[in-house]
Chain A
């Protein structure tokens, strides 16, 4: 039995797959002890009797929250002498340009816990100075006295030759503290980014490690193995825990506890995986996943496999391990509206959160939010929010907007502009929220050289369906797909994820000249040498999988190269084939608008991914597609605002829609965890998998 558990700020979503069917549950998150909700949800889904071993796959915010709340370990840092302050200087820039009161986040390791080591490696990997035994002894004494709970080691050019790091690490391990070493966590160049990454890892190890250990033990205790025929208990532990990594693959809880920096985007990663899975099911290559919740929206571009980045920051700190290229903006259902000094309407990033929540939750909120705006426009059905468990207060929403308008009117000189009505303002709030999200979608698509018209929007999260069509229209996206149960779609992604092991190696190798069809001798030799390096890398990676007690023999390998023109600093990742050069030129043209086939290129990193596929839930495809009778699904008709006028609009119950149903907007589709709005110029059809597929209809 496999259970996917996704911990969010408000709810912990659980999805179970018991070999036959998928079931879903939501329980409230307990922020002080996230493990309890995970176990409670699991217990409620799995029931008392477990007939087979349990696999719990977990998307966690433990790492993210530890960093954002600054509740990690007391870390000691050992680094090359003369560079003890690098962690404070960073790249010597400031995060905002025109702000006298700009602040930088304080470093994770304070000055008194940073020590320089007399050692040095040169750019070519030659060792200029080795740390002496006396020096190492002195350092051990300092670390021991400091009361540090974890140690980070990062030396200059350790990616080119890790000998000095290894020597010091071996000694430090004797102290019994967890040690994070730069060449192990990230054997790549750019010292500050590597340093930041390895320090983050050390900072997370004790806390995330404890959390995962507890989850693992509790799971084993709670879900005992079934007795086998002979009546003896299976002693190997029936419950196995996996953790979602930021890269979109899962790893064992034990490894995640040692390399927690790889889980900092564990939360949003699930949705990306399920979006890719859905797109594959539908034969869509190019898609954008769009996950809009209460406070933020996560978007990710999917052109084939999900895109990765190594330039993420978390709480102002660079994280250079590969993470899914998820872009987040502070726009969600709870985002608050306000006017700035120049009279422009602003929405977010401040959010009403769960407390006090939007005005329409009637829990003390008075400032209008995006959710309130939708309610004023008639797009939410107050009776069917959360399946009717929770009634929205339409009057409170209306009053928040009116009060806002009155306050604004007092501030403005009369006659300067036309007087907006409550509906105008509500439309404005939705439009500004859309503009913020449109910007996020542009960052990941057009700004990286993709034409949005080739992409489908996969929309989910509680608020996604309310905005998806507007955004698709603004960016001229091909279509919108809303899967069933959009509210728990991320947890489904966690359950769907494969076991992944990513390894890399900086090589900095010039590519011999003379590409094209004819394979020259030096080129053949070059390809053969890359082949050999990959083989070595793969052997090491498989050995590590075996150490994690995973079936390494069933893992498939994916090889890629980071390539750039000689002299550039940013690489593009291309698949490793004999024709990788041509592919690089094409990728460069696509990304930056030019390519230069005459320019020499170099291979910077080899990247290898080992992948063990997990069992996927079966996809239920409806056999017969009828025309369906919409009358069965119609709840009622009501007034809803679109663009600049109101429409008499049907409200449909999604549970009663059938494959083959097809209708024109305007329409509103309600279900337990979300609402989907179909504007007047859109057509919605229900496909054979029960997805809603929305397209613009030809005028």
Chain B
């Protein structure tokens, strides 16, 4: 059958709305502030071969890396109707441990055709998979919120290879119990995992209805057509870029254990409608947690090239068809077990984007923005609430300045590139944890000067009302976000602890410490680079 442009658009919208619908259900019924307030989750629909077909407008870093989760679940488990796989192992389809992903197959009987719906049994191969990923507030390990400094993955929390959390529609209570025994806030975890399971079920139901309505044959046909359509869009975008090899490098501050900067190097080769992105020459994996598994590296590449297309392009696997990624095994962009990886997802992913953009700016000087803040400024803390004796664990990321664009200033106080999480309302944070937010303002003058100005970063001050264990995972404290076309760099970030008796103590970009009662943590996030003289 020929591809009908109308039906192509309709299927694109339908698949996308399933992903969005799953996301809405997850957000509204979840318990952890990360999911419900910060919206650190993503939902997606895959075809029977595990190729992404649609992703909700959620977290870029998840979206490019979720196909690896589906592939890992498919490989490790023979999933049947009603089964749900759960995983977080960065070396088997995950990214970093707090991100727990669920994957469910959707079986639709081949005999199902337009208007007649005979249920889900009888099919041998799934027609779809649905997946969702949520950043949990704690997954065990040495530090509350599981985002602290570590040297091995074993210290970072509970590592879950693909396992069945549900079998034939029923939750495996023993698997769930094992997970809950290993985390700091088990009741919250149970609620969040239940919400994730419910979101999978919702996706399953909706896709079954959809296939029932349009017929398996037609649905399958458009699953393929969308891949070809998206690949065509990417090829046309690549065609626009002048042929050549574009090289760039940039550095992460350090790994938290030594002060040796970590190099990221890339060579992008554009030849007609194809691109090759080669990270050879990047630093070997480090002692700390700034190691990215290859799924994250691919995710960052996916993000950058996706930005060259229109905003409403379907987020299909086909987009990546014309792009080859070379990431040397064992390097910081293709980490191997058992290194720690918490920061690879949130920090290294941002720096990979910076390096890619720096290279592409040579090819497309009037489209590519200067460096944005380049760090997610991860702050996590935990302890015991004095009033109730109950433990608390909290995680947040703090926005920074956006790099100036070739035709406009960068935005201020905004999450850029690989993240788009929201802040936790202060009135929600202070109701849940024994802290007081003293300041949350723009860091005026931190954006780089230029014809167009980089956006300003943020100043955030949090007072701890009880002794609290704190982890900071940040970057761009030693290497400023670069400007482009003669624009000045943005200001570097800064971390300080103000003890209750006054004075100031400078903190490194990565730190784990106990904050005494009454002390104030002050974080200043980097501004964006400027563009043009």
Contacts and interface: CB of A to CB of B under 8 A. Distances in A.
Verify that A and B bind, or say they do not. yes
Contacts of A623: none
Contacts of B436: 122
A442 B232 CA distance: 29
Given A88-B412, A100-B369, A189-B427, A82 B9 contact: no
A588 B198 CA distance: 11
Contacts of A436: 13
Interface stretch (A216-224, A231-239, A592-600): A592-600
A438 B31 CA distance: 31
Given A447-B20, A594-B29, A93 B206 contact: no
Contact of A591 (B10, B28, B194, B458): B28
* Interface majority SS (helix, strand, loop, mixed), chain A: loop
A37 interface: no
A82 B438 contact: yes
Contact of A93 (B2, B202, B368, B421): B421
Given A345-B9, A570-B28, A439 B17 contact: yes
Nearest to B421: A93
B408 A101 contact: yes
Given A191-B426, A596-B194, A104 B411 contact: yes
Contact of B29 (A88, A104, A342, A592): A592
A66 interface: no
Interface in B220-239: 229-230, 232-233, 236
Contacts of A93: 39, 414-415, 420-422
Contacts of A427: 6
A588 B411 CA distance: 38
Interface string B47-60: 00000000001001
Contacts of B501: none
A340 B229 CA distance: 11
Interface string B409-434: 00111111000111101111011000
Interface stretch (B118-126, B127-135, B146-154, B303-311): B303-311
Interface stretch (B89-97, B439-447, B488-496): B439-447
Given A88-B412, A341-B233, A567 B31 contact: yes
A86 interface: yes
Interface string B2-39: 11111111101100010011001101111101001101
A104 B410 CA distance: 10
A447 B427 contact: no
A91 B440 contact: no
A637 B248 CA distance: 70
Q: How large is the interface on B (under 10, 10 to 19, 20 to 34, 35 or more residues)?
A: 35 or more
Given A88-B413, A191-B427, A192-B425, A431 B29 contact: no
A100 B422 contact: no
B25 A443 contact: no
A123 B229 contact: no
A619 to B, nearest CB: 37
A102 B17 contact: no
Contacts of B7: 431
Most buried by B among A88, A342, A596: A342
A101 B27 contact: no
Nearest to A102: B411
Nearest to B357: A100
Contacts of A344: 5, 8-9, 12, 229
A569 B414 CA distance: 23
Given A85-B413, A98-B60, A435-B10, A599 B420 contact: no
Nearest to B407: A101
B75 interface: no
B476 interface: no
Contacts of A346: 9
B425 A82 contact: no
A33 B4 CA distance: 47
Interface in A457-497: 476
B84 interface: no
Contacts of B249: none
Interface in B425-480: 425-428, 430-431, 436-442, 458, 461
B53 to A, nearest CB: 15
B309 A103 contact: no
Nearest to B20: A447
A92 B422 contact: yes
A97 interface: yes
A417 B232 CA distance: 14
Contacts of A189: 425, 427-428, 431
Nearest to B440: A83
A428 interface: yes
Contacts of A442: 17, 21
B13 A439 contact: yes
8 contacts: A85-B441, A89-B442, A97-B57, A190-B425, A344-B5, A417-B2, A588-B29, A592-B28
Interface of A: 82-86, 88-89, 91-94, 96-104, 122-123, 156-157, 159, 189-192, 339-346, 417-418, 427-428, 431-432, 435-436, 438-439, 442-443, 446-447, 476, 508, 565, 567-570, 588, 591-594, 596, 599
Given A428-B6, A567-B31, A569-B30, 6 more contacts: A82-B461, A100-B368, A123-B431, A428-B5, A569-B33, A596-B194
